[in-house]
Chain A
Amino acid sequence: MNGNHIHLTLNIWRQETPSSKGNFEEYKQNVSPDASILEILDEINNHLEAEGKRPIAFESDCREGICGTCGLVINGHPHGPLPKTATCQLHMRNFNDGETLYIEPFRAAAFPVIKDLIVDRSGFDKIQQAGGYVSFNTGSAPDANNILIPKQIADLALDAAECIGCGACVAACKNSSAMLFVAAKVSQFALLPQGQSERYERVQAMVKVMDENLFGSCTNTYACEAECPKGISVSNIARMNREYIVAQLKTEELAH
C-alpha cells in the first residue's frame, strides 16, 4: 500500500437549502492514494468542523458499493470516471498529483437537491411501490424446489436484480430517464415463473408512476449502462419495451 500523498484541488457543490442557488467551493487537499473519495470528504469535513464551519452534507452508508446510498457526479460522471464502480469504491490512486476534481450532486428534475450533495430519490420508492414485487403473503409458499428455474434464467434474473437503486442511470441520462432502473425490476420478474401472474399489470403500473414522477423518456444513448456501477444491461430496457407493448395488447384483449 502506497504511502505517498498526492495534492488535489476539489471543487465541491455547496447548497444550503433546496431553494438556494448553490455554487462550487474550492478545497485543496493532500490525500492518501489508498483513501476513497468519501474518506477525503470525511477529512475535509473534520477540518471544517474543527474550524467551526458547516461541513459538506453528503450521504453514504455501506461503503462497499451495494447499498446505493452514495452517488456523486465527479468530473461529469455519476460515480466518477471508473466503470462499474460506485462512488464509495473510487480510490484516490486513480487520480494524478495536481489534478482538479469537480464534485456535484446527481442532477435531475426528479431528484431535487436537499442540501449540498444530498438529493431526494423518493421517486424510486414510489415506482417500486406501484408493482416491484410478487404479491405473495407470508406463510403460503410451497416447498422451494417445487418451482424449478433453469440456471440460465436464474442468472439472467439476478443480473437484473443486482440494481442497487442509486440513481446514476437517471443522472447520466440527458433526459433523466429512469428506464434502466425500472427495466431491471420488470425484467427480473418477467423472466421468473413467480412473476408471471402479474407480469403485464406490473409493467404498466410501474411505467405509469415513473412518468408521473418527472423521469424523462429513453432515447437509446446507453449512457445509463455506461455509468451503472453494477453494469446493468440496456437489453433490460428492450425487454421492458416488449413487455409494455404486449401488456397494452393484452389489456385491450381483456377489455373486449
Chain B
Amino acid sequence: MVKLDSHVPDGNISEKWSNHKFSMKLVNPANKRKYDIIVVGTGLAGASAAASLGELGYKVKAFSYHDSPRRAHSIAAQGGINAAKNYQNDSDSVFRLFYDTVKGGDFRSREANVYRLAEVSNNIIDQCVAQGVPFAREYGGTLANRSFGGAQVSRTFYARGETGQQLLLGAYGSLNRQIHLGNVKMFPRREMLDLVIVDGKAQGIMVRNLITGEVESHSAQAVILATGGYMNVYFLSTNAMNSNVTASWRAHKRGAVFANPCYTQIHPTCLPVHGENQSKLVLMSESLRNDGRIWVPKKIGDTRSPDQIPEDERDYYLERKYPAFGNLVPRDVASRNAKYVCDEGRGVNGGRAVYLDFSEAFNRIGTEGVKDKYGNLFDMYQNITGTDPYKVPMQIYPAPHYAMGGLWVDYNLMSNVPGLFVLGEANFSDHGANRLGASALMQGLADGYFVIPYTLGNYLTTEKPAKVDPKSNEFKEAENNVKENVSKLLNVNGKQTVDSIHKRLGHILIDKVGMSRSEKGLKEAINSISELREEFWKDVKIVGKGSELNQTLERAGRVSDFLELGELMAIDALNRNESCGGHFREEYQTVEGEALRRDDEYSYVAAWEFKQPGKWELNKENLEFDNIKLATRSYK
C-alpha cells in the first residue's frame, strides 16, 4: 500500500493557498543556482514551469520529443481560457469558478486544488497579457470575453479560434528568454524512457536521442513531468499524432501511482470517422452547439438525404430529452446520447454520425450572421470533408479528447515519489470526472506559472544543493533497462505492424471503455487487451535499428505502454460501480437514464499502484466536500 497524503493545508478554503505560501520554506537565492531541475515536456505546463523556474535562478534542463517546444499539442486548443476576472460585471467570482469546476467535475476532484486553480486564474490572464499575447479586444481596448461550454457567465478569454497557440507561444517566448540567458538548457528531440530513483527520490531520467538513438542519463534534484494526456490510447482521438503516456507510464512503473485512469472525456463535436485509414480525429469548437441543432432521423434505416427528411420525421433528441438545456447539455451527456441513437441504427445512413443543422440559425440571423460567428469552423469543415455546410447540414460524432485521469499528486503537485512533480493534463488533479470547456489551458498555466515555482522550493529545502551523480548504480540500472527494452522490441521480429495492433486496441477501448461501459464489456476488454498485449510482444514487427532515427520504434514503445494503460483503464472502470462525469456505467443510471453517482461508496480517488503487467493494487484518497454541497447534476 502507498500512503496517500494530500497535504491540503488547514484553514478556510479561501486562505489555504496564501497561508501555505507563507508557511513554506524558502531556498536561499544564492543557493538556487546549485539546484538542477528536470522538466519533461514543453507545452503550456512545461514551458511555463521551465521559464518561471529559470527566472527564479534554478538550473533547468527541459526536454521535448519535438524539434521545438512550440510544437506541443497545447497549440491546438481553440476555444479559450477561463478566469474569474468578472470583467463583464455578470456576477462571476473566484468562488463561482471554483463551484462550477467542482460541479462540472461531478464532485470527484479535490476541493482545495480546484479553489487554488480558480484563485490564480486571474494572475494567468495578467501574466499572458504582459507577455504580449494578443487576446481578443473590445473597441474600447479592454479584453473581450465570451460564454463557453454552457457557463452562465462570460469568463472565457480568447484569441480567435487559436487561444492555445497564442498562450503556448507566450510561454515559449518566456522559455526562449531563459534559454538565451543560460538558465534553461533545452534538449529537443529527446524522449523520456525511464525515471531514475535514488534513495527513494526522483533524481533523474533516461532519454533516447531521437536522431541518433543514443540513450542519455540526466540527473537533477527534482523531476517535473508535464507530458500531457493519454487519449491516443484510443488510437483515434483529437490528440496530436505523437501524444503518448510513456513518460508518465514509465514513472508509474517506478512507483508513482496512477489516479482515475477511467475518467476520459469524449468530446461531442468532432468530425466523424471517414475510413479505416484515418489517422486522427478533428475537433470543432463546441461553440457550434450554441446555434446548431442536433438531430437524426426518427426511423431506423432512413437513408434519404437530410433535405428530404421532413421536420416531423426528425428526432432532435437532445431538445426532446433535455428541454431546459437542449443542445447545450454538458459534453458527456451530448456524447453519450449521440452514441445511443447511432447504436439504435438511426445515425446518418445508419452509420456513426449525427446531423448538426444550422437551418434555423440561417433563418434567424441569416447566412452572413452564421458566417460572422462560425466562418472559420465552416471553412475548416468544408476543407476536411469536401461538403459545403452552408448547403448540407454538418455531420458530427464524439471523439476521445482529454484525459482527466493521470498521475496522482498532492496539493503541492508532487506525486507519491518524493521529488517527482506532475503538471498539466499529465496529473489527475483538478477536473474530477469531467473537464469543463476552457479549463485545460487554465490548469496547465496555473500549475506552471503559479504553483510549482512555490511548491518546488519547499521540497528543495529538504535536499542538499549537491550535484546528483549520473554514474551511480541506479542510473546504470535504468540505462540497462531502457536498452534492454529497446532491443526486446526490435527482436520480436513478428509480422504485424505497430499501427495495426494500436488500432485494434483502440477499437476495444472505444467500444467497451468509451462513452458507455458495462461490467460484462469491461471484463471482456480486460481479457482482450491482455491477450492483445501478449500478441504484441510475440508478433510485432519493427523495421530498422535502435541506433538511428526510427519512428516505428518510437511508436512501438508508446503502444507497448498503451497496452498496459488500456487494461488499467478497464480495471478502474470496473472497480467504479457508479456513473460520474465521463465515466458512465450502464448498471448505474436513474430511471430516466441519467448518471447515478454513489457518493457513499465512491467519493474517492482511485490511485493504482503498479505491481507487474496486468496487476495493480488499489489505494484510495477520500474526497471531502466542506464548501460545496454534493448535488446531482440535472439538465432536464
Contacts and interface: CB of A to CB of B under 8 A. Distances in A.
Contacts of B72: 67
Given A61-B242, A120-B67, A128-B172, A55 B126 contact: no
Interface in B154-204: 159-160, 162, 164-166, 169, 172-174, 176-177, 179-180, 186, 188
Contacts of A66: 75-76, 162, 164-165
Contacts of B552: 49, 55
A81 interface: no
B70 A165 contact: yes
B305 to A, nearest CB: 13
Contact of B66 (A61, A143, A155): A61
Contacts of B128: 144
Contacts of A246: none
A241 to B, nearest CB: 21
A155 B136 CA distance: 7
B140 interface: yes
A194 B169 CA distance: 15
B73 A62 contact: yes
Contacts of B147: none
Interface in B228-272: 240-242
Contact of B551 (A55, A129, A131, A194): A55
B240 A122 contact: no
A255 interface: no
A64 interface: yes
A241 B376 CA distance: 31
Interface stretch (A28-36, A100-108, A218-226): A28-36
Contact of A1 (B85, B141, B143, B387): B387
A141 B277 contact: no
B173 A128 contact: yes
A90 B623 CA distance: 48
Interface stretch (B278-286, B519-527, B530-538, B582-590): B278-286
Contacts of A147: 129-130
Interface in A130-150: 130-145, 147-150
B549 A115 contact: yes
B581 interface: no
A59 interface: yes
B383 A91 contact: yes
A67 B76 contact: yes
Nearest to A35: B277
Contact of B134 (A59, A136, A141, A192): A192
Contacts of A61: 66, 71, 73, 240-242
B87 to A, nearest CB: 7
A63 interface: yes
B51 interface: yes
A61 B385 CA distance: 20
B393 to A, nearest CB: 14
B137 interface: yes
Contacts of B85: 144
Contacts of B591: none
Contact of A161 (B169, B387, B497): B169
Interface residues of B, number: 82
A208 B67 CA distance: 22
B126 A35 contact: no
A1 B385 contact: yes
B131 A42 contact: no
Interface string B111-135: 0000000000001011111111011
Contacts of A148: 140-142
A138 B241 contact: no
B384 interface: yes
B539 interface: no
A148 B129 CA distance: 10
A78 interface: no
B51 A138 contact: yes
A144 B179 contact: no
A150 B134 CA distance: 11
Contact of B549 (A114, A134, A137): A114
Nearest to B387: A1
A59 B67 contact: yes
B630 interface: no
Interface string A88-111: 010101000000000000000000
A124 B68 CA distance: 9
A118 interface: yes
Nearest to B177: A133
B283 to A, nearest CB: 8
Contact of A134 (B132, B138, B142, B543): B132
Contacts of B59: none
A145 B142 contact: yes
Contacts of B621: none
B209 interface: no
A131 B180 CA distance: 8
A194 B241 contact: no
Contacts of A121: 67-68
Contact of B166 (A38, A49, A155, A161): A161
Nearest to B449: A138
A141 B142 CA distance: 16
21 contacts: A1-B274, A34-B275, A49-B543, A50-B495, A60-B241, A69-B71, A85-B383, A114-B211, A122-B68, A125-B176, A129-B179, A129-B180, A138-B453, A139-B450, A141-B127, A141-B130, A151-B137, A151-B138, A154-B135, A158-B166, A188-B132
Given A89-B384, A129-B179, 18 more contacts: A35-B278, A39-B277, A42-B279, A61-B240, A62-B76, A67-B73, A89-B383, A121-B68, A125-B176, A133-B131, A136-B174, A138-B127, A144-B128, A144-B143, A148-B142, A158-B162, A192-B132, A192-B134
Interface of B: 48, 51-52, 55, 66-73, 75-76, 85, 87, 123, 125-132, 134-143, 159-160, 162, 164-166, 169, 172-174, 176-177, 179-180, 186, 188, 211, 240-242, 274-275, 277-280, 282-283, 383-387, 449-450, 453, 495, 497-500, 541, 543-544, 549, 551-552
Interface of A: 1-2, 32-36, 38-39, 42-43, 46, 48-50, 52-55, 57, 59-64, 66-69, 85, 89, 91, 93, 114-115, 118, 120-122, 124-125, 128-145, 147-151, 154-155, 157-158, 161-162, 164-165, 188-189, 192, 194-195
A-B complex: 5 closest residue pairs judged by Cβ atoms: A133-B173, A148-B141, A141-B126, A141-B130, A158-B134
